[in-house]
Amino acid sequence: MEGSVSLLQAGEPKTGFAYVVEKGDSLGEIALRYNVSVKEIKKWNKLKGDRIFEGQRLRIEAVSLRSYTVKSGDTLSEIALASNIPVSRLRDLNKISGDRIYTGQKLQLASDRKSIETPSVHVVQKGESLWDIAKKYDVSIAAIKERNHLKTEVIRPGMTLSLKDGPEENRTKEKTDEGDSERFEYKVRPGDNLSTIAERFDVAVSLLKQLNGLKENRIYPGQTLQLRPTSLDEAVHVVRSGETLSSIALKYRMNVSDIKRINEIEGSKIVVGQELRLKGTKPNVYIVERGDALWEVAQAYGMGVGELKRLNGLASDRIYPGQELQLGTAPARSFGTYTVKKGDYLGRIARLHQMSVADLKSMNNMKSALIHPGDQLKVKPFLQKGSEWLKISEINWDDLMGSSGGLRKITLGNGPYYGSRPKARRQSNRRYYESARLSLWNTYKRARKLQVALDRKISKMGRLSNCLNGWHIVIDPGHGGLDPGAVVANLDGNGDKVYVVEDEYVYDVALRVYVMLRLNGADVTLTLLSPNHLIRHSDPPVQTFVNEKNEVYNSRAFNRGNSRSHWPKGGRNGNLSRRIAIAENAFKHVPKNRRMFLSFHADIDHSAPNVPLVLYYRSRRTGRPDRASKRFAKSIQSFLGAGTVIRGQNLYVLRNSPANISVMLELRNLAYMDHAWALRFEELRQRDAEKVVRGVVEYVKKKG
C-alpha cells in the first residue's frame, strides 16, 4: 500500500487545461467527464450553441470536484490520487473505515467548508513556475523559497517542494513497520551524499538522480529527495474501462501523438487492459516495468546479474517500476519477437502481450489475420529471449504431464485432465461450479494415485541443483475443495466476458513450484491435491479453468471420515487448521530452521496496487513481526519483481504455521484487469512460479 505522503505528492493539480475534442464527443459527455456543467463549458469558451468539432480546443476551468461517483474498477487510493487528497481524508469525509467502495457510490471529495486543505508537499510538474504553485496553494513565493532553501525562483519538474511545516518524517514512520527500506522521501542532512543515501534506502544513485531531476551528484542539506517512484514515474499505463487516448494523455500531461508514436499505434482505438508506454526507449536503456525482476532483465539481455548491478550501481537486487537500467553495450529492444505456436491466433498473441489486434497487425504490416506455426511476429517489448522462455523452463513439462497413474488422459485446451474432465469448457459466470463426482474417500485415492505417478516421473528427471537439499517446503494452494476463492470477470480477445477462478489458478502455480523445488533438491508437500489434473495448458485461453469443487486435503486421516464436512473449506467456519496439521505432520523429523511454509493466493484487493504482495505474520496486539519470515519476505521481494509489496498481518495460517519461515504470496491482484487475464496464460503462470522458486533458491543460497 502506498503511504499518504506518496499519494499527496503524486496528485495532479486540477487548475484549468485545454481539452482537444475527439471524434464523436459531445458537450454533454465532456461536461460529465469533468464533473462540470455544459453551461460552464460554453461560458469558458464563449460558445453560442452546442456544436463542437473534432480537434477543437476547449478550455476547462477549475475542476475542483466536490464529489465523485465511483466507476467500475476504481479503487479508493486511485480516486484519492486523482483528486489530490490523502486516502485517510477521503475515508474521514465519507465515513469509510476500510477500503471498500462500490460502483455508483457518491464520494464526498471536500468538506462543506470552503477552505481547501493545503497538502504538505507538492511535486513540481512540467511547465509549472513557483508563482503557479504559490497561487494554487495560496501561500507566498517567499514562504516556499524559505521553507525549501531556494536561492532563486528556478525550479525543475519532479522536484518536491515542502508547503508547510509538518512532522512529515514521523508520520511516514508511524504508518509502516518497514522503516528505512520503504521510506518515500528524505530530507538531506549535512554530511550526506547521494551514495550513502542510496545505500541506506536500497535504491540506486542513478534512480535518485532520475527521480529528482538531478544532473550531477551535488545535493544540499535541507533538500527533500524523492526516494521511490510514484505511479506517475512508472511510465506505463494499463487502459481501463471508459478511457480514451486523450483522457490518458491528459492524465499524464502528454500529447496524444507522442503516446501513439511511442506505442506504434496507428488509429485511436485502444482496448481495456492494453498496456501503453509513456516514455520512448533510449539506446542501451531498459525501463523497468511492474513485476520485472532484475534476474529476468539480465537473462532477457544475455547479461549476468552482477554485471547489471555493477553497471547501475545497485547495492541489492531490488529495482523499481520506471527505473532506467543501463544495459552497457546491449541495445534496448523497442520490440520483442514472438514465435507462433500451433493453435495460436492473433487475438491470443495480442492479449498475451497486452496490445490490441489492430496494433499487432500494423506493427507487422499484416493484411490478414492468417498466421502459421513458426512465424516470427514483432510484439510489444517483453522480457523474453527470442522464442525461448526463461532458462529454468527447460523442464519437459509435456513429458511430466504424461504421468497418469493408469488414469485415462484427456487432452483438452485447458487440460490435460486425467480420468474425468469438467462438463463445461469455460467458466461463463461467477456462480457456476461442478461438484465432485466421487465420494471424498475415492476422490482422495484418485488424487494420490495421480500425485504418486507425477512424483515417480520427477525422481527420474535428474536435478536442476542440489541447493535445497535438507529443506522441507510445504506448498499450500490457498483455496480449493468447496472454497474457490475469488471468481472474477475478464474479457477475452473478442471483448466477451470470461471468468477466472482463484483456486484453479493457485493450484496450477503451486504445482509448477512443487516440481521446480523438488528439482532443486527440496522435499516438498502439498496441502491439497486434485483428482483430475496436474499442471495445465491454456490454449485457447477462452477455455478458462472451471470451478470444480473436487480438491481434497493431502491426508489419509482427513478423508477417511468420508463426509461432506471434510472437504476443504475456507473462512471463519472452515477447516483451515487442517492445512496446519498437514504441515506439522510433514515437518515431524525436519529441523526447525529447515522448514518453510508457502501459501499461494490471487485475491481481489482494491486497496492494494497491481503487484505481488508478500505477507508475513505480525501480531495485532504488540505489532511485533515474525522476524525470520519478514527477512524472507524482504529477500523474495526483489525476485518477485519491481513494485512487489511486503506487509505484516495477523493471519490464521501464518500465526499457527509450524515452520520457521511462513509467508502468504498474493501473486496476482484480481482487482486489476491485466492480472485477471494473466491467470489465463500458461506463459505468465509459469513466469510467476519461476519467480517464487528463484526467490527461494537465492534466499537459501545467501543464508548458506
Chain positions contacting Zn ion, by CB under 5 A: 478, 485, 601, 603
Residue (599 or 644) nearer to Zn ion, CB: 599
Residue (323 or 669) nearer to Zn ion, CB: 669
Residue (350 or 513) nearer to Zn ion, CB: 513
Task: Kindly give, in sequence order, each residue whose CB lies less than 8 Å from that of residue 379, ignoring residues fewer than 6 positions away.
Answer: 335, 336, 337, 338, 349, 353, 355, 360, 363
Residue (100 or 703) nearer to Zn ion, CB: 100
Query: Using an 8 Å Cβ cutoff, are 245 and 269 in contact?
Result: no
Residue (25 or 603) nearer to Zn ion, CB: 603
- Provide the minimum distance between the beta carbon of 408 and Zn ion in the complex, in angstroms, as a whole number: 32
Q: Alpha helices, DSSP H only, in 213-270?
A: 245-251, 256-262
- Provide the minimum distance between the beta carbon of 664 and Zn ion in the complex, in angstroms, as a whole number: 8
| Distance between CA atoms of residues 308 and 639, nearest Å | 15
Strand-strand pairing, 185-187 and 160-162: unpaired
- Provide the minimum distance between the beta carbon of 299 and Zn ion in the complex, in angstroms, as a whole number: 30
Residue (553 or 699) nearer to Zn ion, CB: 553
Residue (603 or 674) nearer to Zn ion, CB: 603
- The total of other beta-carbon atoms located within 10 Å of residue 701's CB is 11
Residue (201 or 616) nearer to Zn ion, CB: 616
| Distance between CA atoms of residues 599 and 247, nearest Å | 40
* Residue with nearest beta carbon to Zn ion: 601
Amino acid identity of 527? T
Residue (478 or 531) nearer to Zn ion, CB: 478
- The total of other beta-carbon atoms located within 10 Å of residue 96's CB is 15
Coil vs helix vs strand at 127: coil
Residue (485 or 493) nearer to Zn ion, CB: 485
- Provide the minimum distance between the beta carbon of 570 and Zn ion in the complex, in angstroms, as a whole number: 8
Q: Alpha helices, DSSP H only, in 550-608?
A: 556-560, 577-586
Query: Using an 8 Å Cβ cutoff, are 545 and 536 in contact?
Result: yes
Task: Kindly give, in sequence order, each residue whose CB lies less than 8 Å from that of residue 3, ignoring residues fewer than 6 positions away.
Answer: 172, 175, 176, 182, 184
- Provide the minimum distance between the beta carbon of 502 and Zn ion in the complex, in angstroms, as a whole number: 5
| Distance between CA atoms of residues 302 and 131, nearest Å | 49
- Provide the minimum distance between the beta carbon of 666 and Zn ion in the complex, in angstroms, as a whole number: 7
- Provide the minimum distance between the beta carbon of 460 and Zn ion in the complex, in angstroms, as a whole number: 34
Query: Using an 8 Å Cβ cutoff, are 305 and 659 in contact?
Result: no
Dmax over CA atoms of the chain, in Å, equals: 84
Task: Kindly give, in sequence order, each residue whose CB lies less than 8 Å from that of residue 51, ignoring residues fewer than 6 positions away.
Answer: none
- Provide the minimum distance between the beta carbon of 508 and Zn ion in the complex, in angstroms, as a whole number: 14
| Distance between CA atoms of residues 441 and 532, nearest Å | 14
| Distance between CA atoms of residues 194 and 190, nearest Å | 12
Nearest residue to 313 (alpha-carbon basis) of 449, 410, 206, 190: 206
- Provide the minimum distance between the beta carbon of 448 and Zn ion in the complex, in angstroms, as a whole number: 25
Residue (27 or 665) nearer to Zn ion, CB: 665
- Provide the minimum distance between the beta carbon of 599 and Zn ion in the complex, in angstroms, as a whole number: 9
| Distance between CA atoms of residues 679 and 688, nearest Å | 10
Amino acid identity of 305? V
| Distance between CA atoms of residues 477 and 481, nearest Å | 11
Helices 682-703 & 502-519, crossing angle to 10 degrees?
50
Burial of 504: CB neighbours in 10 Å, binned 0-12, 13-18, 19+: buried
- Provide the minimum distance between the beta carbon of 601 and Zn ion in the complex, in angstroms, as a whole number: 3
Residue (468 or 614) nearer to Zn ion, CB: 614
| Distance between CA atoms of residues 453 and 170, nearest Å | 57
- Provide the minimum distance between the beta carbon of 571 and Zn ion in the complex, in angstroms, as a whole number: 11
Q: DSSP state, 111?
A: -
Q: What is the DSSP string of 612-680?
A: -EEEEEB-TTT--B-HHHHHHHHHHHHHH-TT-EEEEE--HHHHH--SSEEEEEE---TTSHHHHHHTT
Residue with cell 525470520: 628
Beta-ladder partners of 276? 237
- Provide the minimum distance between the beta carbon of 326 and Zn ion in the complex, in angstroms, as a whole number: 39
- Provide the minimum distance between the beta carbon of 600 and Zn ion in the complex, in angstroms, as a whole number: 8
Residue (485 or 609) nearer to Zn ion, CB: 485
Q: DSSP state, 96?
A: -
Residue (19 or 505) nearer to Zn ion, CB: 505
What would the grid cell of residue 292 be?
520485472
- Provide the minimum distance between the beta carbon of 490 and Zn ion in the complex, in angstroms, as a whole number: 17
Residue (277 or 579) nearer to Zn ion, CB: 579
